[in-house]
Amino acid sequence: MNSQRTEPTDRVGFIGLGNMGAPMATKLASWSGGLTVCDARADVALPYLEQGADFAPTGAAVAERTTVISIAVVNDAQVRDVVTGQDGVLSTAKPGTVVAVHSTISDRTAEELATECASRDVEFVDAPITGGAGGAEHGRLAVMVGGSDIAYERVRAPFGCFADLIVHAGGVGAGTAMKLARNLLHFVAFTAATEAQRLAESAGLDITELGKVVRHSDAVTGGAGAIMLRENTSPIAEGDFWLPILSHVRDLGEKDLSLALDLGARLDVDLPLAELALARLGPGLGVGVSNVPESA
């Protein structure tokens, strides 16, 4: 492709000034090459204009003025329209332009759009983000980039305005796959939190106070991410550094899950995720189930 490494003098475009896009674009307002913003609501662009950015009414108009374009809209359909629609980015994008989609879309959509972009000598990256609006406001987002090495190198500098962790996950679609894996953990954990609340409530506890304890301890321990340090998920062999560490995690988890299930049974509270966790924790950690008898 005819791509070139991004220099600070290149102009960046940002399409979609919603809850996440707005603070991200605000961080890009300091980009030395300049910023062009675009949103269906022209009035939301006013704060960026006051900071020196300019406004473009369509994706096509953005692409006429910029060579790196970030897109943060709602879903696959909107992304497709912004990229390939009648007034979309590809209708005017110059060869060597990099189109980066921050929305969480299907990996198949990412691959299809990459093919269409390549036919115009345009680079495509799926670059979903995590960290929430607060992370965006403080420049603390994590970005998972799927795309070529060339495209990754080109987006690193502008992405650094709103993110303090930029990971090259692999080729197109890999960024999305990583985001989906991350969000699987996120929302399964949310569901587990509701189960924990039901148990605590049935035990007569203040679930607001429980929430305080959870947030406090997760901030100290790192939560579930604290165990995500291995290079693969294969069973752990004897003599491996991780075997005693994750066996200890399993033993503690099986003990505490068993105690929680016992409490739930006495309170007549169904805890299906806890039951699954008890059965799958050890195998998932790669250390198998505990050999300790249930009565121990």
Which regions of the chain carry the CATH code 3.40.50.720?
12-177
- Quote the mean pLDDT of the chain: 94
The pLDDT assigned to 290 comes to: 87
Alpha carbon distance 39, 92 (integer Å) = 18
Fold adopted by 229-296: N-(1-d-carboxylethyl)-l-norvaline Dehydrogenase; domain 2 (1.10.1040)
Cα 224 from chain centroid? 16
State pLDDT tens for residues 140-168.
999 999 999 999 999 999 999 999 999 99
Residue type, 278: L
The pLDDT assigned to 88 comes to: 98
State pLDDT tens for residues 50-79.
999 999 999 999 999 999 999 999 999 999
Residue 6 pLDDT > 80, yes or no? Answer: no
The pLDDT assigned to 296 comes to: 39
Alpha carbon distance 136, 239 (integer Å) = 43
pLDDT band per the 50, 70, 90 thresholds, residue 110: very high
Could you say which DSSP state residue 12 is in?
E
State pLDDT tens for residues 129-144.
999 999 999 999 999 9
State pLDDT tens for residues 207-245.
999 999 999 999 999 999 998 988 999 999 999 999 999
Residue 287 pLDDT > 50, yes or no? Answer: yes
Which regions of the chain carry the CATH code 1.10.1040.10?
229-296
Residues classed as catalytic: 179
Q: Domain 12-177 maps to which CATH number in 3.40.50.720, 3.30.70.20, 3.30.565.10, 3.40.640.10?
A: 3.40.50.720
Q: What share of the chain has pLDDT > 90, as a percent?
A: 92
User: What Rg, from alpha-carbon coordinates, does the chain have?
Assistant: 23
> Could you tell me if 144 and 167 are in contact, meaning their C-beta atoms sit under 8 angstroms apart?
yes
Integer angstrom CA distances of residue 265 from 41, 78, 205, 275: 53, 47, 17, 11
Please report where in the chains the tokens 């005819």 appear, as a residue.
2
State pLDDT tens for residues 193-215.
999 999 999 999 999 999 999 99
State pLDDT tens for residues 7-19.
566 899 999 999 9
119-128, 269-278, 285-294: the lowest-pLDDT one:
285-294
Within 8 A by CB and 6+ apart from 54, the residues are 34, 35, 36, 37, 65
Burial of 155 from C-beta contacts in 10 A (0-12 / 13-18 / 19+): buried
pLDDT band per the 50, 70, 90 thresholds, residue 3: very low
* Helix, strand or coil, per DSSP, at residue 217: helix
Cα 260 from chain centroid? 31
